[in-house]
Every structure is written in C-alpha cells, then in structure tokens.
Structure 1
Amino acid sequence: MFPELKPVVIAEQTVLYGPVLDQAHLFGLLARFRTYRLPLTEMRPLPTRSP
C-alpha cells in the first residue's frame, strides 16, 4: 500500500514514516489513505539533525 513508508508499531498504533518528496507526493499519499479508508490522525515532519 505504502512501499515508500516504513511501519513501526508504537503503543498499539502503526506509525508510518518516510520521505515526502514534494507536494504532489504528499497529495498522492493522502489520496491513498482515503482510498483505503485509513484514518490519518497526525502528519508531521521528522526533526532535522544538527551538524
């Protein structure tokens, strides 16, 4: 369903994480969530690393 995202189970919830390349990619991911009727609770960027 989401080959570009990696699943991790945390506190009985599945968290998917991975790169979102651009706005078109984001909208495509959101469309797939709707297609599969998966609830999307939260979406946020990963923290950036400092050098």
Structure 2
Amino acid sequence: MGLEVIAEGIETSAQEAMLHRIGCGQGQGYRYGKALPATEIGCLLEGSTQD
C-alpha cells in the first residue's frame, strides 16, 4: 500500500528492536521523550528543559 507507519507507545529498547526487525522505522513514546506542555517546546528545541 506504500503507507508509512509510526508505532506509538514505545517504552523499551526491546520494543524498539522488534519494530526495526519488522521494518517499522518510526516510533514515538517515553523511550524517546515524555510529553511536554506547549509552553516548554521552545526550551526543548533550544536544548534545555524546565525539569
């Protein structure tokens, strides 16, 4: 079908590895970063967060 798939809820390296094995190269979840309020996006892009 030519569709790109983004897997959601990736939390562990094992989940990430499994997705790569089946050919899914894009994912999102706590493995890559926590959800942020819109007011903190600028800090994230600048390389610093307000934690």
Q: TM-score, normalised by structure 2?
A: 0.38
* Structure ranking higher in strand proportion: 1
Relative contact order higher in (CA < 8 Å, ≥ 6 apart): 2
* Structure ranking higher in helix proportion: 2
Rg: which structure is higher? 2
